[in-house]
Protein backbone atom coordinates (compact mmCIF):
# COMPACT_ATOMS: atom_id res chain seq x y z
CA UNK A 1 0.00 0.00 0.00
CA UNK A 2 1.20 3.46 -0.85
CA UNK A 3 2.49 5.72 1.91
CA UNK A 4 1.79 9.39 1.28
CA UNK A 5 3.77 11.93 3.27
CA UNK A 6 3.07 15.65 3.26
CA UNK A 7 5.23 18.43 4.59
CA UNK A 8 4.96 20.65 6.41
CA UNK A 9 2.07 19.59 8.63
CA UNK A 10 1.39 23.20 9.59
CA UNK A 11 2.35 26.38 7.79
CA UNK A 12 1.80 30.00 8.71
CA UNK A 13 2.59 32.64 6.12
CA UNK A 14 2.25 36.38 5.74
CA UNK A 15 -0.04 37.69 3.02
CA UNK A 16 1.83 37.94 -0.27
CA UNK A 17 4.36 35.21 0.46
CA UNK A 18 5.16 32.36 -1.92
CA UNK A 19 4.09 29.04 -0.40
CA UNK A 20 5.21 25.50 -1.16
CA UNK A 21 3.62 22.31 0.13
CA UNK A 22 5.32 19.01 -0.58
CA UNK A 23 4.04 15.49 -1.09
CA UNK A 24 6.01 12.28 -1.50
CA UNK A 25 4.77 8.77 -2.06
CA UNK A 26 6.34 5.34 -1.92
CA UNK A 27 4.91 3.31 -4.80
CA UNK A 28 4.36 4.06 -8.48
CA UNK A 29 1.08 5.78 -9.26
CA UNK A 30 -1.20 6.51 -12.19
CA UNK A 31 -2.09 10.01 -10.95
CA UNK A 32 -1.76 12.43 -8.06
CA UNK A 33 -4.49 14.77 -6.82
CA UNK A 34 -4.31 17.99 -4.83
CA UNK A 35 -7.40 18.86 -2.83
CA UNK A 36 -8.42 21.83 -0.69
CA UNK A 37 -10.55 21.66 2.43
CA UNK A 38 -11.92 24.82 4.01
CA UNK A 39 -13.10 25.05 7.63
CA UNK A 40 -16.49 23.39 7.83
CA UNK A 41 -15.39 20.31 5.92
CA UNK A 42 -16.09 20.69 2.20
CA UNK A 43 -13.31 19.33 -0.03
CA UNK A 44 -12.73 20.49 -3.57
CA UNK A 45 -10.41 19.13 -6.18
CA UNK A 46 -7.64 21.51 -7.29
CA UNK A 47 -5.52 19.45 -9.65
CA UNK A 48 -5.00 16.00 -11.05
CA UNK A 49 -1.49 15.32 -12.36
CA UNK A 50 0.19 12.40 -14.03
CA UNK A 51 3.24 14.29 -15.28
CA UNK A 52 4.75 17.75 -15.56
CA UNK A 53 3.05 20.85 -14.28
CA UNK A 54 -0.40 22.47 -14.11
CA UNK A 55 -1.38 26.03 -13.29
CA UNK A 56 -4.69 27.52 -12.26
CA UNK A 57 -4.67 31.16 -11.24
CA UNK A 58 -2.17 31.58 -8.40
CA UNK A 59 -1.86 27.83 -7.86
CA UNK A 60 0.81 25.70 -9.52
CA UNK A 61 1.24 21.94 -9.11
CA UNK A 62 4.25 19.96 -10.26
CA UNK A 63 5.10 16.30 -10.18
CA UNK A 64 8.34 14.37 -10.62
CA UNK A 65 7.44 10.76 -11.32
CA UNK A 66 11.00 9.46 -11.03
CA UNK A 67 11.48 11.03 -7.60
CA UNK A 68 7.90 10.20 -6.48
CA UNK A 69 7.37 13.77 -5.40
CA UNK A 70 4.90 16.56 -6.02
CA UNK A 71 4.70 20.18 -4.92
CA UNK A 72 1.84 22.63 -4.67
CA UNK A 73 2.82 26.28 -4.91
CA UNK A 74 0.71 29.32 -4.08
CA UNK A 75 1.94 32.64 -5.39
CA UNK A 76 0.99 35.97 -3.77
CA UNK A 77 -0.80 34.19 -0.92
CA UNK A 78 -3.96 35.67 0.54
CA UNK A 79 -5.88 35.02 3.78
CA UNK A 80 -8.63 33.32 1.76
CA UNK A 81 -6.05 30.64 0.83
CA UNK A 82 -6.14 29.48 4.47
CA UNK A 83 -7.29 25.88 4.34
CA UNK A 84 -6.10 22.30 4.62
CA UNK A 85 -4.33 21.10 1.48
CA UNK A 86 -4.45 17.38 0.86
CA UNK A 87 -2.36 15.25 -1.46
CA UNK A 88 -3.81 11.95 -2.68
CA UNK A 89 -2.45 9.31 -5.05
CA UNK A 90 -4.18 6.83 -7.30
CA UNK A 91 -2.29 3.62 -7.98
CA UNK A 92 -4.83 2.24 -10.43
CA UNK A 93 -8.56 1.78 -10.37
CA UNK A 94 -10.67 4.36 -8.59
CA UNK A 95 -9.34 4.35 -5.05
CA UNK A 96 -7.20 7.14 -3.61
CA UNK A 97 -4.65 7.04 -0.79
CA UNK A 98 -4.52 10.32 1.11
CA UNK A 99 -1.83 12.23 2.93
CA UNK A 100 -2.60 13.66 6.36
CA UNK A 101 -2.92 17.17 5.01
CA UNK A 102 -1.12 20.49 5.47
CA UNK A 103 -2.86 23.17 7.51
CA UNK A 104 -2.13 26.55 5.94
CA UNK A 105 -2.84 29.85 7.65
CA UNK A 106 -2.18 33.10 5.78
CA UNK A 107 -2.13 36.18 7.98
CA UNK A 108 -2.96 39.66 6.73
CA UNK B 1 -23.56 22.27 -10.91
CA UNK B 2 -22.56 18.86 -9.61
CA UNK B 3 -23.63 18.01 -6.13
CA UNK B 4 -23.05 15.49 -3.38
CA UNK B 5 -25.24 15.93 -0.33
CA UNK B 6 -25.14 14.29 3.08
CA UNK B 7 -28.14 13.91 5.33
CA UNK B 8 -26.72 15.69 8.39
CA UNK B 9 -23.89 18.14 9.11
CA UNK B 10 -23.78 17.34 12.82
CA UNK B 11 -25.01 14.27 14.64
CA UNK B 12 -24.81 13.20 18.28
CA UNK B 13 -25.60 9.60 19.14
CA UNK B 14 -25.29 7.37 22.18
CA UNK B 15 -23.07 4.32 22.44
CA UNK B 16 -24.87 1.25 21.10
CA UNK B 17 -27.27 3.14 18.85
CA UNK B 18 -27.65 2.21 15.19
CA UNK B 19 -26.64 5.16 13.04
CA UNK B 20 -27.47 5.82 9.40
CA UNK B 21 -25.50 8.32 7.32
CA UNK B 22 -26.95 9.02 3.90
CA UNK B 23 -25.24 10.36 0.81
CA UNK B 24 -26.90 11.38 -2.45
CA UNK B 25 -25.26 12.46 -5.71
CA UNK B 26 -26.97 13.91 -8.74
CA UNK B 27 -24.24 13.23 -11.31
CA UNK B 28 -25.14 9.67 -12.33
CA UNK B 29 -21.76 8.46 -11.05
CA UNK B 30 -21.28 4.73 -10.65
CA UNK B 31 -18.54 4.94 -8.02
CA UNK B 32 -19.24 6.22 -4.51
CA UNK B 33 -17.08 6.22 -1.39
CA UNK B 34 -17.33 6.64 2.36
CA UNK B 35 -14.34 8.01 4.26
CA UNK B 36 -13.66 9.03 7.80
CA UNK B 37 -11.29 11.87 8.59
CA UNK B 38 -9.38 12.11 11.84
CA UNK B 39 -6.71 14.65 12.84
CA UNK B 40 -3.24 13.55 11.78
CA UNK B 41 -4.55 10.51 9.91
CA UNK B 42 -6.08 12.03 6.82
CA UNK B 43 -8.97 10.46 4.99
CA UNK B 44 -9.31 6.71 5.32
CA UNK B 45 -11.56 4.63 3.11
CA UNK B 46 -14.30 2.71 4.90
CA UNK B 47 -16.26 1.24 1.97
CA UNK B 48 -16.84 1.97 -1.66
CA UNK B 49 -19.39 0.94 -4.24
CA UNK B 50 -18.85 0.65 -7.98
CA UNK B 51 -22.45 -0.12 -8.91
CA UNK B 52 -25.90 -0.59 -7.44
CA UNK B 53 -25.89 -3.38 -4.84
CA UNK B 54 -22.11 -3.78 -5.27
CA UNK B 55 -19.73 -2.90 -2.47
CA UNK B 56 -16.14 -3.44 -1.45
CA UNK B 57 -14.38 -3.02 1.85
CA UNK B 58 -11.89 -0.24 2.17
CA UNK B 59 -9.08 0.02 4.68
CA UNK B 60 -11.16 0.31 7.87
CA UNK B 61 -14.52 -1.46 7.40
CA UNK B 62 -14.82 -2.91 10.91
CA UNK B 63 -17.93 -1.70 12.71
CA UNK B 64 -19.51 -0.36 9.53
CA UNK B 65 -21.75 -1.61 6.76
CA UNK B 66 -23.13 0.04 3.63
CA UNK B 67 -26.13 -0.10 1.37
CA UNK B 68 -26.54 0.97 -2.25
CA UNK B 69 -30.05 0.20 -3.46
CA UNK B 70 -30.15 3.07 -5.97
CA UNK B 71 -27.39 4.54 -8.07
CA UNK B 72 -27.65 8.00 -6.55
CA UNK B 73 -27.72 6.95 -2.89
CA UNK B 74 -25.01 5.35 -0.76
CA UNK B 75 -25.67 4.79 2.92
CA UNK B 76 -23.20 4.13 5.72
CA UNK B 77 -24.48 2.22 8.73
CA UNK B 78 -22.92 1.99 12.16
CA UNK B 79 -24.57 -1.12 13.56
CA UNK B 80 -23.73 -0.31 17.18
CA UNK B 81 -22.04 3.04 17.56
CA UNK B 82 -18.97 3.27 19.76
CA UNK B 83 -17.02 6.26 21.03
CA UNK B 84 -14.07 5.45 18.75
CA UNK B 85 -16.36 6.09 15.79
CA UNK B 86 -16.58 9.76 16.72
CA UNK B 87 -15.21 11.39 13.57
CA UNK B 88 -15.91 13.43 10.46
CA UNK B 89 -17.52 11.26 7.78
CA UNK B 90 -17.19 12.26 4.15
CA UNK B 91 -18.96 10.82 1.15
CA UNK B 92 -17.60 11.18 -2.38
CA UNK B 93 -18.47 10.13 -5.88
CA UNK B 94 -16.11 9.95 -8.80
CA UNK B 95 -16.16 11.01 -12.40
CA UNK B 96 -14.31 8.25 -14.24
CA UNK B 97 -12.68 8.71 -17.59
CA UNK B 98 -10.12 11.41 -18.26
CA UNK B 99 -10.65 13.53 -15.18
CA UNK B 100 -11.11 10.98 -12.34
CA UNK B 101 -12.24 13.89 -10.23
CA UNK B 102 -13.71 13.08 -6.83
CA UNK B 103 -16.68 15.17 -5.71
CA UNK B 104 -17.11 15.36 -1.95
CA UNK B 105 -20.11 15.97 0.23
CA UNK B 106 -19.94 18.58 3.01
CA UNK B 107 -19.25 15.98 5.69
CA UNK B 108 -21.09 14.78 8.79
CA UNK B 109 -19.44 15.38 12.13
CA UNK B 110 -20.57 12.46 14.28
CA UNK B 111 -20.12 12.45 18.03
CA UNK B 112 -20.81 9.23 19.94
CA UNK B 113 -21.21 9.72 23.69
State whether A100 and B103 contact (CB < 8 Å): no
Q: What does the alpha-carbon distance between residue A40 and residue A68 come to, in Å, rounded to a whole number?
A: 31
CB B75 within 8 A of CB B23: yes
Q: Which of A4, A48, A86 is opposite residue B101, by nearest beta carbon?
A: A48
Q: How confident is the model at residue B100 (pLDDT cuts 50, 70, 90)?
A: confident
Considering only CB atoms, which chain A residues are within 8 Å of B92? 43
Q: What does the alpha-carbon distance between residue A68 and residue A61 come to, in Å, rounded to a whole number?
A: 14
Report the share of chain B in percent with pLDDT over 90.
Answer: 81
Each residue's pLDDT tens digit, B42-56: 899 999 999 998 999
Each residue's pLDDT tens digit, B9-47: 999 999 999 999 999 999 889 999 999 999 888 899 999
Q: Which of B45, B101, B106 is opposite residue A95, by nearest beta carbon?
A: B45
Q: β-strands A102-107, A10-14: how paired?
A: parallel
pLDDT, averaged per 10 consecutive residues of chain A (108 residues), comes to 90 98 92 91 89 96 96 97 95 86 96
Phi, psi of A9 (to 5 degrees): -75, -40
Q: What does the alpha-carbon distance between residue A55 and residue A69 come to, in Å, rounded to a whole number?
A: 17
Amino acid sequence: KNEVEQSPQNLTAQEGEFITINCSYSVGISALHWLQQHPGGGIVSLFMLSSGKKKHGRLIATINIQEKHSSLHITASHPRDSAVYICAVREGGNKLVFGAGTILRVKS
Amino acid sequence: DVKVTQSSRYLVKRTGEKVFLECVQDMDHENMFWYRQDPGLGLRLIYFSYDVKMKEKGDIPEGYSVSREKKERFSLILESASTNQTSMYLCASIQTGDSYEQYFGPGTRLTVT
